[in-house]
Structure 1
Amino acid sequence: MSDMKIYTPEGVQDILGNGCYGKRKIESKILNLFASFGYEEIQTPIIEFYDTFAVEKDMMPQEKMFKFVDQQGRLLVLRPDMTIPVARVAATKLKQEQVQRFCYVGNAFRYNEFGGGKQKEFTQTGVELLGDKSPQSDAEVIVLAIQALLQSGLNEFQIDIGQTDFFKGITEETGLKPLQEENLRVCIDTKDTIGIKNFVEGSDMSSDLKQVILNLPELFGSVDVIDHAYEFRLSEKSKRALRNLREVLDIINGYGLSRYVSVDLGMVPALNYYTGVIFRGFTYGIGFPVLSGGRYDNLIEKFGYAKPATGFSVGVNMLMNALLRQYGSNFLEKPKTDMLFYTDRNCEQKGYDLTGYCRSKGYTVEVLFNLDDLDKMDLTKYKMLVKMEQENIIVTDVKNNEMIGFSKEQFIRTYSGRVS
């Protein structure tokens, strides 16, 4: 048997050096963007009661959760999602009638999780906008999703937008049983045209309904898709969904971001969870969405307080994979440390004082404790080598291999503040 203590389990990974730096940089940029829109960051625990996630069995099947039992015999889980805990908090500790904006970043855990790059542990960052049902709030979270990808450095992507009530308005007229409706939904959401055709041919629904259902996978593309959808006989519910979708798209166009969006009326994820506009973000070379979101007006009510809501989450691991494909590994590269600092043995105390000064001026400073280790160091990681002698300070420019001597006063005047 192999020595398990030196390995990690399947589906989790160590993130090291440049990878960790790049990940934190992405998260920081996105959180700063959220803050600029007035979103307040909150943190929820990694460990939750199983019952918290059992309220949404369609979105969170129990077999996907990491479950365990506490000392009292209560069933706990590692959180498999970030939105549901936010809903719990909003309905309990932060129960208010006013509009609320929350954002987060944190790790979630699922079996068979594809959203984190086939990882069982993955990082999500996102927003939840609570207390407003208007097209403006739907548009705001989509605009934030677009700008989050742009802030991360991703240039080539597309946000597909749909409306769940368009499909619900169709199926309500078919008289399908819940299981039949779910089978049809899966066929349409996966663009299984053969499955849709077989389903329709085996049903006794009207020819008008058959026609629109058969065409659902093709109702995808520019905003003109909405006009095309009106060519079919639609229920009033489906028409309202199209009007709502057009309003949202008009607002996004007002932000000047319409080139990043397309319409997909055949996007029909779990219908018992989503209640309106839905969207997914895709990019080249990644087979799964890098972000997803939508309106979920009924979720918070399941925790005892009715409040409409919309939001989205970005799969940070998937986004990193996309950025690696777009830029190569360069975007992950950690900046060089400004100074590698070392001293003669008889002036260490003066050296420690000077390193504190340099850090206070914004320089990154790494101290070499043992001068004998200098030959073992990878000097390409540093911009300067700084040696503190009894009377002088010797600065070596690593790139040009140029050496300059300073007195302490000259050094302080020269390095009075870091320039990026």
Structure 2
Amino acid sequence: MERIFHTPEGVRDIYNGECSQKRKVQERIHRVFHQYGYEDIETPTFEYFEVFSREVGTIPSRELYKFFDREGNTLVLRPDFTPSVSRACATYFSPDQEPVSLCYTGNTFINNSSYRGRLKETTQMGVERIGDESADADAELLAMTVECLLAAGLTEFQISVGQVDYFKSLLKEAELNAEAEERLRSLISQKNAFGVEEFVEEQKLKEGIAKAFVEIPQMFGSTEVLEKARKLTNNARALEAVARLREIYEILKIYGYEKYVSFDFGMLSKYQYYTGIIFQAYTYGTGEPMIKGGRYNGLMKHFGKPAASIGFAIEVDNLLLALSSQKIISEKEEKRSVIQYGPADRTEAIAKAQKLRAEGHSVALRLKKEAR
């Protein structure tokens, strides 16, 4: 049998300069987390299946890496940090008494079909603000998103902000069945305006709600989109969603980061636990978002401690791809010094290396090979 030493499909080794740059970028982002008062948490690489079940609203079961422990319990490699952090928060904290601010770094695992270079194991860094339902919390996470990208070295990027409650309120008004809802969600996510037109004609929806659905795929841009969304419906919950976005935008202006934000009412996440704003950060050089986030006010209820929550996750590998495409290099790395020595010079060489290391330099000791 042939021995296999290369990596499986969908995973890879990271080494040399790329690994060093990844560490530097992570350190910069981690510093931003701490500057905003977030505390570190580590959750297990694998959890019980129930933490990521369909009821939670995470990715489909077929895309999970599943296995069994000795007692026959189904375990899962985490595909997503938010349910894990929420479970831990429900176990160890009291978000109903005081908001909890947690940050994390680690790898996630999704058993999907690898295409376009998409990996099955990726590194994520993120934050979760649990027990805070305010628009100020929403704006704070958007401000943190901006600062994380600036800290990484990017200067040209855009954060697209959507509102799940706007779409969900119109869905409820339309009274569609589950299959029709899923089809409509897919069409809107693909920005397929013609497909949506055909759909509303097939479903024979009322004129007002039909017009709103047809317009949603094209409702993206700056603040004028908010006014358009407001005029499209009289649905009270939908209007509250628009007002919430307006309030968040006004708070972002105080931070001075409003120029990085645009709005997209057709943004719909595959994660069903989102309930309010959702957002994604993009730049040129990569077609995938570098950061994904949103509000998930119903998730903590699944773990026994209902609490309004919001968070985001940085796809570190996508961020590094963008930095590489834009030829942005983090701090210039100091070259490693090498001291070669023979047995007779050992004491002097070690003393010199220790002195340089104490001064913060990188020094490698190399024993000279004896000539044969």
Q: Which segment is superposed worse, 25-34 or 283-292?
A: 283-292
Report Cα offsets for 1:149-195 as digits up to 9, x if no partner: 11111222111001111112212221212221222112112211222
Equivalents in 1 of 2:213, 2:243: separation in Å? 19
| Counterparts of residues 293-372 of structure 1 (less than 5 Å) | 293-327=293-327, 330-331=329-330, 334-337=333-336, 339-370=337-368
Equivalents in 1 of 2:309, 2:98: separation in Å? 12
Report Cα offsets for 1:53-87 as digits up to 9, x if no partner: 11545422111111111122111111111111000
Q: CA deviation at 1:198?
A: 1.2
1:64 alignment partner AA: E
Q: CA deviation at 1:219?
A: 1.0
Question: In the alignment, does 2:190 pair up with 1:169?
Answer: no
Contact 1:22 1:333 in 2 (8 A): no
Q: CA deviation at 1:114?
A: 7.5
Equivalents in 2 of 1:79, 1:21: separation in Å? 25
Contact 1:166 1:239 in 2 (8 A): yes
Equivalents in 2 of 1:119, 1:271: separation in Å? 19
Q: Which residue of 1 aligns with 2:198?
A: 198
2:175 alignment partner AA: G
Q: CA deviation at 1:268?
A: 2.2
Contact 1:91 1:300 in 2 (8 A): yes
| Counterparts of residues 123-134 of structure 1 (less than 5 Å) | 123-134=123-134
Gaps of 5+ in 1: 374-420
Equivalents in 2 of 1:124, 1:92: separation in Å? 23
Task: Name the SS for the 2:340 alignment partner.
Answer: strand
Equivalents in 2 of 1:184, 1:323: separation in Å? 35
Task: Name the SS for the 2:322 alignment partner.
Answer: helix
Q: CA deviation at 1:116?
A: 11
Q: CA deviation at 1:270?
A: 4.3
Task: Name the SS for the 1:5 alignment partner.
Answer: coil
Q: Which residue of 2 aligns with 1:384?
A: none
**Alignment TM-score, normalising by the size of structure 1:** 0.84
Q: State the identity %.
A: 36
Q: Which residue of 2 aligns with 1:144?
A: 144
Equivalents in 2 of 1:33, 1:109: separation in Å? 25
Contact 1:275 1:295 in 2 (8 A): yes
Contact 2:220 2:265 in 1 (8 A): yes
Equivalents in 2 of 1:192, 1:248: separation in Å? 28
Equivalents in 1 of 2:278, 2:173: separation in Å? 22
**Alignment TM-score, normalising by the size of structure 2:** 0.94
Report Cα offsets for 1:31-55 as digits up to 9, x if no partner: 1110000000110111211111115
- Aligned-pair Cα RMSD in Å: 2.0
Contact 2:193 2:218 in 1 (8 A): no
Task: Name the SS for the 1:45 alignment partner.
Answer: coil
Report Cα offsets for 1:262-307 as digits up to 9, x if no partner: 0111112247411111101111132221111100011111011111
Equivalents in 1 of 2:68, 2:50: separation in Å? 13
Contact 1:116 1:318 in 2 (8 A): no
The verdict on how the C-alpha distance between 1:289 and 1:113 changes in structure 2, with shifts beyond 3 A counting, is: farther
Q: Which residue of 1 aligns with 2:292?
A: 292
Gaps of 5+ in 2: none
Q: CA deviation at 1:133?
A: 0.4
Q: Which residue of 2 aligns with 1:410?
A: none
Contact 1:19 1:332 in 2 (8 A): no
The verdict on how the C-alpha distance between 1:51 and 1:31 changes in structure 2, with shifts beyond 3 A counting, is: same
Equivalents in 1 of 2:334, 2:116: separation in Å? 26
Aligned length: 370
Contact 2:285 2:322 in 1 (8 A): yes
